[in-house]
Chains A and B, each alone.
Chain A
Amino acid sequence: MFGLLAWISYFKPMKFITLSLLLLFTSSLLADIVVIGNLKNSNPMMSAREVQEIYMGRKRGLADNAIAYPIDNSDLRQSFYKHLTDRPIAQINAYWARLKFSGNRTPPEIVSDTADIINKVKANKNAIAYINDQHVEESEVRILFVIKNNNGTDKD
Protein backbone atom coordinates (compact mmCIF):
# COMPACT_ATOMS: atom_id res chain seq x y z
CA MET A 1 0.00 0.00 0.00
CA PHE A 2 2.81 2.41 0.87
CA GLY A 3 4.44 1.58 -2.47
CA LEU A 4 1.25 2.62 -4.19
CA LEU A 5 1.15 5.88 -2.21
CA ALA A 6 4.76 6.62 -3.15
CA TRP A 7 3.92 6.01 -6.79
CA ILE A 8 0.90 8.30 -6.63
CA SER A 9 2.99 11.06 -5.03
CA TYR A 10 4.91 11.53 -8.30
CA PHE A 11 1.82 13.31 -9.63
CA LYS A 12 1.74 16.79 -8.08
CA PRO A 13 -2.05 17.28 -8.25
CA MET A 14 -2.43 14.10 -6.24
CA LYS A 15 -0.15 15.19 -3.40
CA PHE A 16 -2.99 16.37 -1.20
CA ILE A 17 -4.85 13.07 -1.58
CA THR A 18 -1.63 11.14 -0.91
CA LEU A 19 -0.98 13.06 2.27
CA SER A 20 -4.54 12.55 3.46
CA LEU A 21 -4.38 8.80 2.82
CA LEU A 22 -1.03 8.56 4.54
CA LEU A 23 -2.34 10.37 7.61
CA LEU A 24 -5.38 8.12 7.66
CA PHE A 25 -3.23 4.97 7.58
CA THR A 26 -0.76 6.33 10.08
CA SER A 27 -3.47 7.20 12.57
CA SER A 28 -5.02 3.76 12.10
CA LEU A 29 -1.70 2.00 12.62
CA LEU A 30 -0.88 4.05 15.69
CA ALA A 31 -4.29 3.68 17.29
CA ASP A 32 -4.50 1.92 20.63
CA ILE A 33 -6.12 -1.48 20.79
CA VAL A 34 -8.71 -1.68 23.53
CA VAL A 35 -10.08 -4.86 25.03
CA ILE A 36 -13.78 -4.38 25.63
CA GLY A 37 -16.54 -6.17 27.49
CA ASN A 38 -20.27 -5.95 28.00
CA LEU A 39 -21.52 -3.12 30.24
CA LYS A 40 -22.76 -5.79 32.67
CA ASN A 41 -19.30 -7.38 32.79
CA SER A 42 -18.34 -7.22 36.46
CA ASN A 43 -14.65 -7.77 35.82
CA PRO A 44 -12.41 -5.00 37.08
CA MET A 45 -9.78 -3.71 34.65
CA MET A 46 -7.88 -6.75 33.41
CA SER A 47 -4.14 -7.30 33.36
CA ALA A 48 -2.21 -8.26 30.23
CA ARG A 49 -1.73 -11.70 31.74
CA GLU A 50 -5.47 -12.22 32.28
CA VAL A 51 -6.24 -11.15 28.71
CA GLN A 52 -3.51 -13.43 27.40
CA GLU A 53 -4.73 -16.41 29.41
CA ILE A 54 -8.28 -15.98 28.18
CA TYR A 55 -7.23 -15.60 24.55
CA MET A 56 -4.88 -18.59 24.76
CA GLY A 57 -7.62 -20.77 26.24
CA ARG A 58 -5.90 -21.40 29.57
CA LYS A 59 -8.29 -19.32 31.67
CA ARG A 60 -12.00 -19.50 30.95
CA GLY A 61 -13.64 -17.91 33.96
CA LEU A 62 -14.44 -14.24 34.44
CA ALA A 63 -14.56 -12.46 37.80
CA ASP A 64 -18.10 -13.71 38.41
CA ASN A 65 -17.10 -17.28 37.38
CA ALA A 66 -19.06 -16.97 34.14
CA ILE A 67 -17.52 -18.60 31.06
CA ALA A 68 -15.70 -16.00 28.97
CA TYR A 69 -16.58 -15.69 25.27
CA PRO A 70 -13.53 -14.16 23.56
CA ILE A 71 -13.85 -12.71 20.05
CA ASP A 72 -10.93 -12.17 17.66
CA ASN A 73 -10.86 -9.11 15.41
CA SER A 74 -9.48 -10.32 12.07
CA ASP A 75 -8.16 -6.86 11.17
CA LEU A 76 -6.14 -6.51 14.38
CA ARG A 77 -5.42 -10.16 15.17
CA GLN A 78 -1.77 -10.16 14.17
CA SER A 79 -0.95 -6.99 16.08
CA PHE A 80 -3.00 -8.05 19.11
CA TYR A 81 -1.27 -11.41 19.56
CA LYS A 82 2.15 -9.95 18.80
CA HIS A 83 1.69 -7.48 21.66
CA LEU A 84 0.15 -10.01 23.97
CA THR A 85 2.31 -13.08 23.37
CA ASP A 86 5.22 -11.92 21.19
CA ARG A 87 4.32 -14.68 18.73
CA PRO A 88 3.52 -14.45 15.03
CA ILE A 89 0.05 -15.47 13.94
CA ALA A 90 1.29 -18.77 12.41
CA GLN A 91 2.37 -19.87 15.91
CA ILE A 92 -0.97 -18.80 17.38
CA ASN A 93 -2.77 -20.80 14.68
CA ALA A 94 -0.60 -23.86 15.38
CA TYR A 95 -1.27 -23.51 19.11
CA TRP A 96 -5.03 -23.36 18.59
CA ALA A 97 -4.97 -26.18 16.02
CA ARG A 98 -3.68 -28.44 18.80
CA LEU A 99 -6.46 -27.47 21.19
CA LYS A 100 -9.29 -27.30 18.68
CA PHE A 101 -8.70 -30.46 16.65
CA SER A 102 -8.13 -32.54 19.77
CA GLY A 103 -11.62 -31.48 20.85
CA ASN A 104 -10.37 -29.79 24.02
CA ARG A 105 -11.10 -26.10 23.43
CA THR A 106 -12.93 -23.79 21.06
CA PRO A 107 -10.79 -20.89 19.81
CA PRO A 108 -12.08 -17.31 19.90
CA GLU A 109 -14.64 -16.56 17.21
CA ILE A 110 -13.03 -14.51 14.43
CA VAL A 111 -15.10 -11.52 13.29
CA SER A 112 -14.04 -9.00 10.66
CA ASP A 113 -16.52 -6.16 11.02
CA THR A 114 -16.06 -3.80 13.97
CA ALA A 115 -19.78 -3.00 14.19
CA ASP A 116 -20.51 -6.74 14.38
CA ILE A 117 -17.93 -7.15 17.12
CA ILE A 118 -19.45 -4.34 19.18
CA ASN A 119 -22.95 -5.74 18.67
CA LYS A 120 -21.81 -9.19 19.83
CA VAL A 121 -20.24 -7.69 22.94
CA LYS A 122 -23.40 -5.69 23.65
CA ALA A 123 -25.53 -8.83 23.24
CA ASN A 124 -23.43 -11.22 25.35
CA LYS A 125 -22.61 -10.43 28.98
CA ASN A 126 -19.56 -12.70 28.86
CA ALA A 127 -18.12 -11.54 25.54
CA ILE A 128 -14.66 -10.01 25.37
CA ALA A 129 -13.25 -8.46 22.20
CA TYR A 130 -10.67 -5.99 21.00
CA ILE A 131 -11.04 -3.07 18.62
CA ASN A 132 -9.29 0.18 17.75
CA ASP A 133 -9.92 2.80 20.41
CA GLN A 134 -11.43 5.16 17.79
CA HIS A 135 -14.48 2.89 17.61
CA VAL A 136 -15.17 2.76 21.32
CA GLU A 137 -18.31 4.36 22.72
CA GLU A 138 -18.06 4.01 26.47
CA SER A 139 -21.82 4.18 26.76
CA GLU A 140 -22.01 0.92 24.77
CA VAL A 141 -19.14 -1.21 26.09
CA ARG A 142 -16.69 -1.33 28.98
CA ILE A 143 -12.96 -0.92 28.44
CA LEU A 144 -11.13 -3.73 30.23
CA PHE A 145 -7.58 -3.29 28.98
CA VAL A 146 -5.63 -1.00 26.67
CA ILE A 147 -2.69 -1.92 24.45
CA LYS A 148 -0.73 1.20 23.49
CA ASN A 149 0.18 0.58 19.91
CA ASN A 150 2.49 3.51 19.30
CA ASN A 151 5.17 2.77 21.85
CA GLY A 152 4.39 -0.82 22.77
CA THR A 153 3.60 -0.15 26.41
CA ASP A 154 0.39 -1.17 28.06
CA LYS A 155 -1.58 0.76 30.59
CA ASP A 156 -3.64 -1.04 33.16
Chain B
Amino acid sequence: MSKKLPLLLIAFFLSPIIQAEGQYPDWSVSGFGSFSYVGTDTNSLGFIRNRTQTKSATKSGEGGGGVTTDSRLGIQLDVDFTESIHTTVQWIARDHAGDFFEQNLELAFISWRPAYDLDIRAGRLALDTFLIADHRNVGFSYPWMRPPHDFYVNISAYHFDGADIAKQFSLDSGYLTVKAFAGYGMNHFAVGLGVFEMDMPMAGLSLAYETDNWLTKAVYNYQHFDTEIPNEPLLGLINSPQLNQVMPGLSALESHVSLKDTNLHYMSLGTRYDDAVWLMHAEISYLASDTSLVGDVLSGYMSVGRRFSDFTFYSVYGVAHGFHKNVDIPTPVVADPQLLGIQSFLDVAVNNNTPKQQSFSLGARWDVHPKIALKTQWVHYWFEENGAAYWRHLDDSIKPSQVNVWSVGVDFIF
Protein backbone atom coordinates (compact mmCIF):
# COMPACT_ATOMS: atom_id res chain seq x y z
CA MET B 1 0.00 0.00 0.00
CA SER B 2 1.30 3.43 -0.84
CA LYS B 3 2.14 5.19 2.37
CA LYS B 4 1.87 8.63 0.85
CA LEU B 5 -1.55 8.69 -0.81
CA PRO B 6 -3.93 8.71 2.17
CA LEU B 7 -1.59 10.93 4.13
CA LEU B 8 -1.37 13.44 1.33
CA LEU B 9 -5.13 13.51 0.86
CA ILE B 10 -5.78 14.24 4.51
CA ALA B 11 -2.86 16.59 4.86
CA PHE B 12 -4.08 18.50 1.80
CA PHE B 13 -7.45 19.17 3.36
CA LEU B 14 -6.11 20.00 6.77
CA SER B 15 -2.91 21.79 5.84
CA PRO B 16 -4.32 25.29 6.25
CA ILE B 17 -4.93 24.70 9.95
CA ILE B 18 -1.89 22.64 10.75
CA GLN B 19 1.72 23.60 11.11
CA ALA B 20 3.71 20.40 10.92
CA GLU B 21 6.56 20.13 13.38
CA GLY B 22 9.48 17.72 13.84
CA GLN B 23 8.32 14.13 13.62
CA TYR B 24 4.85 15.10 12.38
CA PRO B 25 2.79 14.20 10.49
CA ASP B 26 3.03 10.63 11.71
CA TRP B 27 0.64 7.94 10.56
CA SER B 28 -0.13 4.26 10.88
CA VAL B 29 -2.46 1.65 9.41
CA SER B 30 -3.74 -1.16 11.61
CA GLY B 31 -6.75 -3.38 11.92
CA PHE B 32 -8.69 -6.16 13.56
CA GLY B 33 -10.84 -9.05 12.49
CA SER B 34 -12.90 -12.05 13.48
CA PHE B 35 -13.81 -15.13 11.49
CA SER B 36 -16.36 -17.33 13.19
CA TYR B 37 -19.15 -19.79 12.73
CA VAL B 38 -22.37 -19.74 14.76
CA GLY B 39 -24.85 -22.61 14.89
CA THR B 40 -28.14 -23.09 16.74
CA ASP B 41 -30.65 -25.89 17.29
CA THR B 42 -33.71 -24.17 15.82
CA ASN B 43 -34.91 -22.97 12.42
CA SER B 44 -37.86 -20.90 13.61
CA LEU B 45 -35.74 -18.29 15.41
CA GLY B 46 -32.71 -16.64 13.79
CA PHE B 47 -29.83 -15.60 16.03
CA ILE B 48 -28.44 -12.10 15.44
CA ARG B 49 -25.55 -10.30 17.08
CA ASN B 50 -27.06 -6.87 16.50
CA ARG B 51 -30.30 -5.50 15.06
CA THR B 52 -28.37 -3.95 12.18
CA GLN B 53 -27.63 -7.38 10.71
CA THR B 54 -29.56 -8.61 7.68
CA LYS B 55 -28.84 -12.33 8.16
CA SER B 56 -29.33 -14.63 11.11
CA ALA B 57 -27.87 -17.92 12.27
CA THR B 58 -30.12 -20.98 12.39
CA LYS B 59 -29.84 -24.76 12.62
CA SER B 60 -29.84 -25.41 8.89
CA GLY B 61 -28.51 -22.08 7.67
CA GLU B 62 -31.87 -20.84 6.36
CA GLY B 63 -31.36 -17.45 8.00
CA GLY B 64 -28.32 -16.90 5.78
CA GLY B 65 -26.07 -16.20 8.78
CA GLY B 66 -23.72 -18.52 10.61
CA VAL B 67 -20.47 -17.28 9.12
CA THR B 68 -21.47 -13.63 8.83
CA THR B 69 -22.97 -13.34 12.33
CA ASP B 70 -19.70 -12.77 14.18
CA SER B 71 -17.25 -12.31 11.30
CA ARG B 72 -15.88 -8.91 10.36
CA LEU B 73 -12.70 -7.21 9.24
CA GLY B 74 -11.78 -3.66 10.25
CA ILE B 75 -9.03 -1.37 9.03
CA GLN B 76 -7.98 1.88 10.69
CA LEU B 77 -5.87 4.83 9.61
CA ASP B 78 -4.45 7.07 12.33
CA VAL B 79 -2.66 10.32 11.57
CA ASP B 80 -0.99 12.59 14.12
CA PHE B 81 -0.59 16.02 12.58
CA THR B 82 0.84 17.53 15.73
CA GLU B 83 1.08 16.28 19.28
CA SER B 84 -2.44 17.62 19.87
CA ILE B 85 -4.23 17.17 16.52
CA HIS B 86 -5.08 13.67 15.39
CA THR B 87 -7.46 12.00 12.98
CA THR B 88 -8.81 8.44 12.84
CA VAL B 89 -10.72 6.72 10.04
CA GLN B 90 -12.03 3.17 10.54
CA TRP B 91 -14.01 1.03 8.13
CA ILE B 92 -15.38 -2.43 8.86
CA ALA B 93 -16.51 -5.10 6.42
CA ARG B 94 -19.47 -6.81 8.12
CA ASP B 95 -23.12 -7.72 7.64
CA HIS B 96 -24.94 -4.42 8.09
CA ALA B 97 -28.22 -3.20 6.64
CA GLY B 98 -28.12 -0.21 4.29
CA ASP B 99 -25.27 1.17 2.22
CA PHE B 100 -22.29 -1.15 2.56
CA PHE B 101 -19.67 1.61 2.45
CA GLU B 102 -21.39 4.37 4.40
CA GLN B 103 -22.94 2.27 7.17
CA ASN B 104 -19.67 0.44 7.75
CA LEU B 105 -17.67 3.64 8.07
CA GLU B 106 -17.39 3.37 11.84
CA LEU B 107 -15.02 6.18 12.75
CA ALA B 108 -14.01 9.32 10.86
CA PHE B 109 -13.13 12.10 13.23
CA ILE B 110 -10.56 14.72 14.01
CA SER B 111 -9.52 15.22 17.61
CA TRP B 112 -7.92 18.16 19.30
CA ARG B 113 -6.19 17.85 22.64
CA PRO B 114 -5.68 21.40 23.93
CA ALA B 115 -4.34 20.01 27.22
CA TYR B 116 -3.11 16.60 28.28
CA ASP B 117 -6.34 15.96 30.17
CA LEU B 118 -8.84 17.36 27.67
CA ASP B 119 -10.06 15.78 24.39
CA ILE B 120 -12.41 17.32 21.87
CA ARG B 121 -13.49 15.20 18.91
CA ALA B 122 -15.76 15.91 15.95
CA GLY B 123 -16.91 13.72 13.10
CA ARG B 124 -18.19 10.14 13.09
CA LEU B 125 -17.75 8.67 16.54
CA ALA B 126 -18.48 5.32 18.14
CA LEU B 127 -21.49 5.19 20.43
CA ASP B 128 -20.07 5.16 23.94
CA THR B 129 -23.25 4.30 25.83
CA PHE B 130 -22.13 1.16 27.65
CA LEU B 131 -18.97 -0.49 28.94
CA ILE B 132 -18.18 -2.29 25.67
CA ALA B 133 -20.32 -0.36 23.18
CA ASP B 134 -17.50 1.56 21.51
CA HIS B 135 -15.27 -1.49 20.87
CA ARG B 136 -17.81 -4.29 20.47
CA ASN B 137 -16.51 -5.01 16.96
CA VAL B 138 -13.02 -5.75 18.28
CA GLY B 139 -13.33 -9.36 19.38
CA PHE B 140 -9.67 -9.56 20.33
CA SER B 141 -10.26 -7.04 23.13
CA TYR B 142 -12.68 -9.21 25.15
CA PRO B 143 -12.91 -12.88 26.14
CA TRP B 144 -16.30 -13.79 24.61
CA MET B 145 -17.31 -14.52 21.04
CA ARG B 146 -19.43 -11.37 21.23
CA PRO B 147 -20.55 -8.92 23.93
CA PRO B 148 -23.32 -10.49 26.04
CA HIS B 149 -26.34 -10.88 23.75
CA ASP B 150 -29.04 -10.07 26.32
CA PHE B 151 -27.50 -6.66 26.83
CA TYR B 152 -25.82 -5.61 23.58
CA VAL B 153 -28.09 -6.90 20.80
CA ASN B 154 -30.49 -4.06 21.51
CA ILE B 155 -27.97 -1.21 21.40
CA SER B 156 -29.57 0.66 18.60
CA ALA B 157 -26.57 2.12 16.80
CA TYR B 158 -22.86 1.65 16.32
CA HIS B 159 -21.96 5.25 15.56
CA PHE B 160 -23.21 8.81 15.30
CA ASP B 161 -22.08 12.01 13.61
CA GLY B 162 -21.37 14.73 16.11
CA ALA B 163 -18.88 15.74 18.76
CA ASP B 164 -17.75 14.85 22.24
CA ILE B 165 -15.63 16.47 24.88
CA ALA B 166 -13.85 14.50 27.60
CA LYS B 167 -12.05 15.88 30.64
CA GLN B 168 -9.90 13.70 32.85
CA PHE B 169 -9.36 14.27 36.58
CA SER B 170 -6.85 12.57 38.86
CA LEU B 171 -8.83 11.26 41.82
CA ASP B 172 -7.29 9.24 44.64
CA SER B 173 -5.43 6.38 43.03
CA GLY B 174 -7.34 6.52 39.76
CA TYR B 175 -8.62 8.72 36.98
CA LEU B 176 -12.14 10.03 36.49
CA THR B 177 -13.15 10.88 32.92
CA VAL B 178 -16.25 12.99 32.36
CA LYS B 179 -17.52 12.95 28.81
CA ALA B 180 -20.41 14.76 27.14
CA PHE B 181 -21.49 13.90 23.62
CA ALA B 182 -24.13 15.02 21.15
CA GLY B 183 -24.90 14.37 17.54
CA TYR B 184 -27.11 12.74 14.99
CA GLY B 185 -27.31 9.02 14.32
CA MET B 186 -28.22 7.73 10.88
CA ASN B 187 -28.22 3.97 11.21
CA HIS B 188 -29.86 1.37 9.04
CA PHE B 189 -31.68 -1.53 10.66
CA ALA B 190 -33.23 -4.74 9.51
CA VAL B 191 -36.62 -5.41 11.10
CA GLY B 192 -39.38 -7.85 10.26
CA LEU B 193 -41.00 -5.23 8.02
CA GLY B 194 -37.82 -4.49 6.06
CA VAL B 195 -34.76 -2.26 6.24
CA PHE B 196 -35.24 1.25 7.52
CA GLU B 197 -33.04 4.25 8.24
CA MET B 198 -33.33 5.33 11.83
CA ASP B 199 -32.40 8.99 12.12
CA MET B 200 -32.07 10.20 15.65
CA PRO B 201 -30.60 13.20 17.40
CA MET B 202 -28.91 12.10 20.58
CA ALA B 203 -26.99 13.42 23.55
CA GLY B 204 -25.43 11.89 26.60
CA LEU B 205 -23.10 12.09 29.54
CA SER B 206 -20.72 9.44 30.87
CA LEU B 207 -18.58 9.12 33.96
CA ALA B 208 -15.77 6.58 33.93
CA TYR B 209 -13.45 5.87 36.85
CA GLU B 210 -10.39 3.74 36.19
CA THR B 211 -7.72 2.34 38.48
CA ASP B 212 -5.14 -0.40 37.94
CA ASN B 213 -7.62 -3.27 37.71
CA TRP B 214 -11.02 -1.60 37.77
CA LEU B 215 -13.07 0.38 35.30
CA THR B 216 -16.50 1.60 36.39
CA LYS B 217 -18.74 3.54 34.08
CA ALA B 218 -22.12 5.24 34.42
CA VAL B 219 -23.90 6.62 31.35
CA TYR B 220 -27.07 8.47 30.48
CA ASN B 221 -28.05 8.66 26.81
CA TYR B 222 -31.07 10.36 25.25
CA GLN B 223 -32.23 9.52 21.72
CA HIS B 224 -35.16 10.83 19.70
CA PHE B 225 -36.59 9.08 16.63
CA ASP B 226 -36.91 11.39 13.65
CA THR B 227 -37.96 8.69 11.22
CA GLU B 228 -40.66 6.06 11.05
CA ILE B 229 -40.32 2.32 10.65
CA PRO B 230 -41.77 0.95 7.40
CA ASN B 231 -45.16 0.43 9.02
CA GLU B 232 -47.33 1.08 5.95
CA PRO B 233 -48.40 -2.59 5.66
CA LEU B 234 -49.44 -2.53 9.32
CA LEU B 235 -51.27 0.79 9.04
CA GLY B 236 -53.01 -0.45 5.91
CA LEU B 237 -54.45 -3.34 7.90
CA ILE B 238 -55.18 -1.40 11.08
CA ASN B 239 -57.01 1.43 9.30
CA SER B 240 -58.91 -0.75 6.82
CA PRO B 241 -62.68 -0.01 7.20
CA GLN B 242 -63.52 -3.54 6.08
CA LEU B 243 -61.21 -5.15 8.61
CA ASN B 244 -62.45 -2.85 11.38
CA GLN B 245 -65.96 -4.16 10.72
CA VAL B 246 -64.93 -7.78 11.30
CA MET B 247 -62.26 -6.96 13.92
CA PRO B 248 -63.84 -4.14 15.98
CA GLY B 249 -61.35 -1.80 17.68
CA LEU B 250 -58.50 -2.58 15.27
CA SER B 251 -57.77 1.10 14.50
CA ALA B 252 -56.91 1.68 18.18
CA LEU B 253 -53.64 -0.17 17.54
CA GLU B 254 -52.23 2.66 15.41
CA SER B 255 -50.28 4.24 18.27
CA HIS B 256 -48.62 0.89 18.99
CA VAL B 257 -46.91 0.58 15.61
CA SER B 258 -45.25 3.98 15.34
CA LEU B 259 -41.71 5.01 16.24
CA LYS B 260 -41.48 8.54 14.87
CA ASP B 261 -41.26 11.38 17.42
CA THR B 262 -40.81 9.04 20.36
CA ASN B 263 -37.89 9.11 22.79
CA LEU B 264 -35.46 6.66 24.33
CA HIS B 265 -33.58 7.10 27.58
CA TYR B 266 -30.71 4.73 28.35
CA MET B 267 -29.27 4.59 31.87
CA SER B 268 -26.49 2.17 32.59
CA LEU B 269 -23.93 1.24 35.20
CA GLY B 270 -21.11 -1.17 34.47
CA THR B 271 -17.86 -2.33 35.98
CA ARG B 272 -14.92 -4.41 34.86
CA TYR B 273 -12.22 -6.02 37.00
CA ASP B 274 -9.08 -7.55 35.52
CA ASP B 275 -6.07 -8.46 37.66
CA ALA B 276 -4.37 -10.45 34.88
CA VAL B 277 -5.68 -13.73 36.33
CA TRP B 278 -9.33 -13.10 37.22
CA LEU B 279 -11.61 -11.22 34.88
CA MET B 280 -15.07 -9.94 35.78
CA HIS B 281 -17.62 -7.82 33.91
CA ALA B 282 -21.03 -6.73 35.17
CA GLU B 283 -23.50 -4.26 33.71
CA ILE B 284 -27.07 -3.23 34.30
CA SER B 285 -29.18 -0.85 32.26
CA TYR B 286 -32.70 0.49 32.08
CA LEU B 287 -34.14 1.58 28.76
CA ALA B 288 -37.17 3.84 29.04
CA SER B 289 -39.20 4.25 25.86
CA ASP B 290 -42.37 6.05 24.74
CA THR B 291 -43.42 3.38 22.27
CA SER B 292 -44.66 -0.21 22.39
CA LEU B 293 -42.31 -1.00 19.52
CA VAL B 294 -39.41 -0.76 21.94
CA GLY B 295 -40.92 -0.84 25.42
CA ASP B 296 -39.15 -0.36 28.72
CA VAL B 297 -36.39 -2.92 29.19
CA LEU B 298 -34.24 -3.87 32.17
CA SER B 299 -31.16 -5.83 31.18
CA GLY B 300 -27.95 -6.95 32.75
CA TYR B 301 -25.26 -9.55 32.79
CA MET B 302 -22.38 -10.83 34.87
CA SER B 303 -19.33 -12.58 33.50
CA VAL B 304 -16.53 -14.23 35.46
CA GLY B 305 -13.38 -15.59 33.87
CA ARG B 306 -10.16 -17.17 35.05
CA ARG B 307 -6.92 -17.25 33.10
CA PHE B 308 -4.58 -20.22 33.09
CA SER B 309 -1.49 -19.19 31.16
CA ASP B 310 -2.70 -18.57 27.58
CA PHE B 311 -6.19 -19.94 28.26
CA THR B 312 -9.18 -18.05 29.63
CA PHE B 313 -12.28 -19.92 30.77
CA TYR B 314 -15.41 -17.93 31.48
CA SER B 315 -19.10 -18.07 32.21
CA VAL B 316 -21.77 -15.44 31.63
CA TYR B 317 -25.29 -15.03 32.98
CA GLY B 318 -27.46 -12.49 31.17
CA VAL B 319 -31.03 -11.33 31.39
CA ALA B 320 -33.29 -8.95 29.46
CA HIS B 321 -36.77 -8.28 30.74
CA GLY B 322 -39.23 -5.99 29.00
CA PHE B 323 -42.10 -4.35 30.84
CA HIS B 324 -44.35 -3.91 27.84
CA LYS B 325 -47.89 -5.05 28.67
CA ASN B 326 -49.47 -7.32 26.13
CA VAL B 327 -51.85 -5.42 23.84
CA ASP B 328 -55.03 -7.32 23.04
CA ILE B 329 -55.45 -7.76 19.31
CA PRO B 330 -59.17 -7.77 18.41
CA THR B 331 -60.51 -11.23 17.72
CA PRO B 332 -62.35 -11.61 14.38
CA VAL B 333 -66.12 -11.90 14.76
CA VAL B 334 -65.95 -14.91 12.41
CA ALA B 335 -63.28 -17.59 12.74
CA ASP B 336 -62.01 -17.11 9.21
CA PRO B 337 -58.48 -18.55 8.75
CA GLN B 338 -57.33 -15.45 6.83
CA LEU B 339 -58.56 -13.13 9.57
CA LEU B 340 -56.97 -15.30 12.24
CA GLY B 341 -53.73 -15.06 10.25
CA ILE B 342 -53.97 -11.25 10.29
CA GLN B 343 -54.61 -11.33 14.03
CA SER B 344 -51.53 -13.51 14.51
CA PHE B 345 -49.43 -11.22 12.28
CA LEU B 346 -50.48 -8.13 14.23
CA ASP B 347 -49.86 -9.91 17.51
CA VAL B 348 -46.25 -10.58 16.48
CA ALA B 349 -45.79 -6.98 15.26
CA VAL B 350 -47.19 -5.36 18.41
CA ASN B 351 -46.39 -7.82 21.20
CA ASN B 352 -43.13 -9.44 20.17
CA ASN B 353 -40.96 -6.36 20.65
CA THR B 354 -40.20 -6.70 24.28
CA PRO B 355 -37.65 -9.27 25.37
CA LYS B 356 -38.08 -11.77 28.15
CA GLN B 357 -35.00 -13.91 27.96
CA GLN B 358 -32.21 -15.26 30.12
CA SER B 359 -29.00 -16.92 29.08
CA PHE B 360 -26.09 -18.84 30.51
CA SER B 361 -22.78 -19.23 28.67
CA LEU B 362 -19.62 -21.24 29.02
CA GLY B 363 -16.65 -20.42 26.86
CA ALA B 364 -12.91 -20.42 26.37
CA ARG B 365 -10.29 -18.23 24.77
CA TRP B 366 -6.84 -19.43 23.79
CA ASP B 367 -4.20 -16.81 22.98
CA VAL B 368 -2.18 -18.83 20.48
CA HIS B 369 -0.15 -15.74 19.53
CA PRO B 370 0.19 -12.24 21.07
CA LYS B 371 -2.15 -11.02 18.31
CA ILE B 372 -4.34 -14.08 17.64
CA ALA B 373 -6.94 -15.74 19.87
CA LEU B 374 -9.05 -18.82 19.24
CA LYS B 375 -12.44 -18.84 20.92
CA THR B 376 -15.42 -21.04 21.51
CA GLN B 377 -18.68 -20.42 23.36
CA TRP B 378 -21.88 -22.28 24.14
CA VAL B 379 -24.96 -20.31 25.20
CA HIS B 380 -28.29 -21.64 26.46
CA TYR B 381 -31.27 -19.28 26.19
CA TRP B 382 -34.62 -19.40 28.01
CA PHE B 383 -37.61 -17.40 26.78
CA GLU B 384 -40.89 -16.50 28.39
CA GLU B 385 -43.98 -16.35 26.18
CA ASN B 386 -43.37 -13.94 23.26
CA GLY B 387 -39.99 -13.23 24.84
CA ALA B 388 -37.68 -13.89 21.90
CA ALA B 389 -37.78 -10.27 20.75
CA TYR B 390 -34.03 -10.16 20.11
CA TRP B 391 -34.30 -12.93 17.52
CA ARG B 392 -35.54 -13.05 13.95
CA HIS B 393 -38.91 -14.79 13.65
CA LEU B 394 -38.45 -16.83 10.51
CA ASP B 395 -41.79 -18.62 10.32
CA ASP B 396 -45.23 -18.77 11.96
CA SER B 397 -44.52 -21.87 14.02
CA ILE B 398 -44.76 -21.91 17.79
CA LYS B 399 -41.42 -20.67 19.08
CA PRO B 400 -39.23 -22.82 21.30
CA SER B 401 -38.87 -21.82 24.92
CA GLN B 402 -35.17 -22.77 24.98
CA VAL B 403 -32.43 -22.54 22.35
CA ASN B 404 -28.76 -23.51 22.28
CA VAL B 405 -26.21 -21.44 20.39
CA TRP B 406 -22.62 -22.54 19.89
CA SER B 407 -19.79 -20.82 18.11
CA VAL B 408 -16.11 -21.18 17.24
CA GLY B 409 -13.84 -18.56 15.77
CA VAL B 410 -10.60 -16.67 15.64
CA ASP B 411 -9.98 -13.03 16.59
CA PHE B 412 -6.88 -11.12 15.59
CA ILE B 413 -5.31 -7.69 15.33
CA PHE B 414 -2.67 -6.44 12.95
Contacts and interface: CB of A to CB of B under 8 A. Distances in A.
A66 B138 CA distance: 31
A40 B367 CA distance: 41
A68 B111 CA distance: 17
B175 interface: yes
A58 interface: yes
B30 interface: yes
Nearest to B413: A97
A67 B107 contact: no
A94 to B, nearest CB: 5
A104 interface: yes
Interface stretch (A22-30, A84-92, A141-149): A84-92
A119 B137 CA distance: 37
Contacts of B199: none
Interface string B334-352: 0000000000000000000
B41 interface: no
A87 B83 contact: no
Interface in B344-388: 367, 369-371, 373
B228 interface: no
6 A-B pairs with least C-beta separation: A61-B116, A102-B134, A98-B141, A90-B367, A102-B135, A97-B141
7 contacts: A59-B175, A93-B371, A97-B413, A103-B109, A106-B80, A106-B86, A126-B83
B226 interface: no
Interface in A55-88: 58-62, 65-69, 85-88
Contacts of B113: 67
A103 B78 CA distance: 9
A102 B126 contact: yes
B78 A67 contact: no
B148 to A, nearest CB: 16
A101 B115 contact: no
